Amino acid sequence: MANVHKGEVTMEAGGETYRLAYTTNAMCELEDATGESLGKIVDRLNDPANPPGVKTLRLLLWAALIEHQEDMTVKGAGGICDLIGMASVGEVIGKALQAAFPDASAGKQTASKLKSAG
């Protein structure tokens, strides 16, 4: 069960429930995979003139999943993207970022921008 006080959210895909969390380790893995800081990635999420690509959204989902689904691969995250659609991926990423940074107004903007970008 997700603990919102620990920055966790849940999502359903293909009859499975997944727990997402942008932990420190997850954020470091994301930065390693993208070669960008989390701040730059979030800035792009909030920039309608330079939205993130599908590859970045897949990596964002993967990073949020790896804390609680340790065997999750990037390809596996891509499969989840296919199951729920990119609009839903954007929405769940936004919710997970909001949960990780509840006091940041950027998290609310990110959630709404991602939902409309999908």
- 78: DSSP letter: H
Condensed to tens digits (0 to 9), the pLDDT of residues 10-38 reads 999 999 999 999 999 999 999 999 999 99
Dist. CA 9–CA 99, nearest whole Å: 7
> Residue 102: its pLDDT value, please?
82
- Cβ–Cβ under 8 Å, residues 94 and 112: yes
Output the six-digit token pair for 99.
């949960």
For 117, the token pair is 């970008």
